[in-house]
Amino acid sequence: MKYIYITTLSLFALVSCGTDNSSDKQTVDQIIESKDINAIETRKTELVNQSSNIYAKISMLQEAANELEDGESLVLVKGQKVKSGVFKHFVEVQGDVKTKQNILIYPEFSGVLKKVYVKEGQSVKKGQLLAKIDDGGLYRQLKQLEIQLDLSKTTFERRSKLWDKKIGSEIQYLQAKANYETTVESLNQLKENVAKSSVYATFSGVIDYVMIHEGQVVAPGQSLFRLINLRNMYVEAQVPESYMATITKGIEATIEFPFINTTANTKVKQVGNHIGKANRSFIIMMDVENKDRTIKPNMVVNVKLNDYTNLETIEIPVSVLLENAKGEKYLYIAEITTNPKVMVAKKVFLKLGKEQGSKVEVLEGLKTNDIIIVEGGKEIEDKQRISVEI
């Protein structure tokens, strides 16, 4: 629908052109210069009447145009205003939950298991006694050796004082010294063996599994307990080598735990420097908090790595894009006309950036507040008059 606009100044010019240029009448300027009040009033009345007639004709023309355009068959499409904002691209890979403190505890001593002090699921502190193995009489030997040590020490100290005074022979002094040092060494070795009969927690954590029972004979290499610390967890993932330039230490990462329906926001803590020959990928590592201990080792997770961010750009749905025979991407935008009910379609070719999910980044071709056609774009042509629903 087209509207006709004529300003008061233009109307006055039309009226003036239609009257003052005639040869049988004076011009407005001549009448004003005559200072004849009657002539001035008469001419003013004539111009007012002429302007009323012109306004009436304009209204008739506008009504006729409206009737014609209201009856125009317009294609109805759906439009959407575009806005600028932050665009983020993510690389998605799979990862595994791990912990550096997840070990099996083995005995260092053979013997009958006398006592188990912990049970499955129990929290323990570093250095806490977990189990005791029968030492086979080593403790009694240790006590006897401590008595011998006291005697050898006393003998050595006395021989040393006498030797300082040049009393006695050197061989007696050296024998006392050797006997004392040998006893000290034997005692220390025996203490180590006795200590091996006690099994301790090597770090603070949770006893995940108890694999033995009291009275059972155990030996080195046999698993006794599994000890896990569920607080210091991390996720390890393998990333294709094509992303080596963009996946760097410190970038944002979102970890999705599908089996417990939760997510965690973190950052890449470490990036591997080795590319695997078999899968052409490198390893990254991210810390993850586990305050409620719901995250378990060896869980499979989805990792989204933010490898690209544009702080101010336009993104549009991928579904609105059209493609010509040359492979060029384009869409239609709606341009306003003088009739608020009618718009004109305009074909716009685009330069696109990265694609993320159902959205794609637009580098060139659109500006903020452009109205893009999101539905019905395939049914219209360039410069076609359309009706747009926003």
DSSP β-ladder status, 225-228 and 205-210: antiparallel
| Among the ranges given (64-78, 225-239, 285-299), the one the predictor scored with the smallest mean pLDDT | 64-78
Q: pTM score, two decimals?
A: 0.61
Mean pLDDT of 145-170: 84
Residues 279-326: tens digit of each pLDDT: 999 999 999 988 888 899 999 999 999 999 999 999 999 999 999 999
Provide DSSP, 61-127: HHHHHHHHHHT---EEEEEEE--EEEEEEEEEEEEEEEES-EEEE--SS-EEEEEE---TT-EE-TT
Q: Give every strand in the sheet of 102-105, ordered side by side.
A: 102-105, 225-228, 205-210, 123-124
Give Cβ neighbours of residue 11 (< 8 Å, ≥ 6 apart): 51, 54, 55
DSSP output for 235-260: EEEEEEGGGTTT--TT-EEEEEETTT
Looking at residue 137, its pLDDT comes to 76
Mean pLDDT of the chain: 87
Stretch (H or E) spanning 136: none
Contacts (Cβ under 8 Å, ≥6 apart) of 353? 87, 310, 313, 360, 361, 362, 363
Which range, 5-14, 26-35, 340-349, is most confident?
Answer: 340-349
pLDDT band at 179 (very low <50, low <70, confident <90, very high): confident
